[in-house]
Amino acid sequence: MTDAAHASLAMTDIGQVVGKLQKLRDRLPPSERAVVDDLLRAAGVVDTTPPQYNPYLPGVHTNPYPHYHRLQADNPVHWSHAMQAWVISRHADVVAAFRDPRLSYRTGFETIMACVPTEEHDSIRAVSHFLGSLLNEFDPPDHTRLRRIMTRALATTVEPQRIAHIESIANKLLDAVQQAGHMDIVGDFAYPLPAIVGADLLGIPAPDRDRFGQWIHDVVRTFSEGFSRTAAMHRGAAAVFELTEYLKRLLAERCARPGQDVLSAMLEAREATEEERVLIAANIIMGMHENVTHAISLAMNTLLRDPALLHWLRSHPEHLPSAVEEMLRHEGTAPILSRVTLEDMKIGGVTIPKGQRVILLVAAANRDAERFDAPDRFMPNRQPNPHIAFGIGKRACPGSALARTMIQVAVATLLTRLPAMQLADADPAWREEINIHGLRVLLVSF
pTM above 0.95, yes or no: no
The rounded distance, in Å, linking the Cα atoms of 290 and 299 is 14
| Angle CA 12–135–90, to nearest 5 | 65
3: confidence class by pLDDT, cuts 50, 70, 90? very low
Does residue 229 carry a pLDDT above 90? no
225: confidence class by pLDDT, cuts 50, 70, 90? confident
The rounded distance, in Å, linking the Cα atoms of 213 and 360 is 30
Percentage of residues of the chain with pLDDT beyond 70 = 92
Secondary structure (H, E, C), the chain: CCHHHHHCHHHCHHHHHHHHHHHHHHHCCHHHCHHHHHHHHHCCCCCCCCCCCCCCCCCCCCCCHHHHHHHHHHCCEEEECCCCEEEECCHHHHHHHHHCCCEECCCHHHHHHHHCCHHHHHHHHHHHHHHCCCHHHCCCCHHHHHHHHHHHHHHHCCHHHCHHHHHHHHHHHHHCCHHHCEEEHHHHHHCHHHHHHHHHHHCCCHHHHHHHHHHHHHHHCCCCCCCCCCHHHHHHHHHHHHHHHHHHHHHHHHHHCCCCCHHHHHCCCCCCCHHHHHHHHHHHHHHHHHHHHHHHHHHHHHHHCCHHHHHHHHHCHHHHHHHHHHHHHHCCCCCEEEEEECCCEEECCEEECCCCEEEEEHHHHCCCCCCCCCCCCCCCCCCCCCCCCCCCHHHCCCCHHHHHHHHHHHHHHHHHHCCCCEECCCCCEECCCCCCCCEEECEEEC
pLDDT of residue 1: 37
Does residue 44 carry a pLDDT above 70? no
Query: At 352, which helix (H) or strand (E)?
Result: strand 350-352
- The range of the structural domain enclosing residue 403 comes to 3-445
Percentage of residues of the chain with pLDDT beyond 90 = 55
Does residue 112 carry a pLDDT above 50? yes
pLDDT of residue 6: 40
How confident is the model over 268-289, as a mean pLDDT?
Answer: 83
Nearest to 143 by CA among 387, 393, 405: 393
43: confidence class by pLDDT, cuts 50, 70, 90? low
Least confident of 60-64, 217-221, 227-231, 294-298: 227-231
CB distance 180 to 228 below 8 Å: no
How confident is the model over 89-115, as a mean pLDDT?
Answer: 86
The rounded distance, in Å, linking the Cα atoms of 338 and 114 is 15
Does residue 48 carry a pLDDT above 70? yes
How confident is the model over 60-67, as a mean pLDDT?
Answer: 90
The rounded distance, in Å, linking the Cα atoms of 56 and 60 is 7
The rounded distance, in Å, linking the Cα atoms of 370 and 178 is 44
Interval 162-187: pLDDT, tens: 999 999 999 999 999 999 999 999 99
Residue type, 279: L
The rounded distance, in Å, linking the Cα atoms of 194 and 199 is 8
Residues 6+ apart with CB under 8 A from 135: 143, 146, 147, 150, 279, 280, 283, 398
Does residue 100 carry a pLDDT above 80? yes
Structurally, the chain folds into a number of domains equal to 1
Least confident of 130-144, 187-201, 258-272, 350-364: 130-144
CB distance 401 to 413 below 8 Å: no
CB distance 209 to 199 below 8 Å: yes
Domain of residue 389, CATH code: 1.10.630.10
Interval 376-407: pLDDT, tens: 999 999 999 999 999 998 778 888 999 999 99
Assign 3-state DSSP to the chain and report helix, strand, coil percentages, each to 5. Answer: 55, 10, 35
268: confidence class by pLDDT, cuts 50, 70, 90? confident
How confident is the model over 215-229, as a mean pLDDT?
Answer: 83
Residue of 64 and 47 predicted with greater confidence: 64
The rounded distance, in Å, linking the Cα atoms of 242 and 373 is 48
DSSP string across 267-280? TT-TTS-HHHHHHH
pLDDT of residue 135: 66
The pLDDT mean for the chain works out to 88
pLDDT of residue 257: 93
Q: Is 266 exposed, middle or buried (0-12, 13-18, 19+ CB in 10 A)?
A: buried
How confident is the model over 418-427, as a mean pLDDT?
Answer: 94
Which range scores top for mean pLDDT: 17-26, 141-150, 204-213?
A: 204-213
pLDDT of residue 131: 81
Cα separation of the two ends of the chain: 50
pLDDT of residue 108: 67
Least confident of 26-40, 261-275, 316-330: 26-40
CB distance 344 to 350 below 8 Å: no
Does residue 60 carry a pLDDT above 60? yes
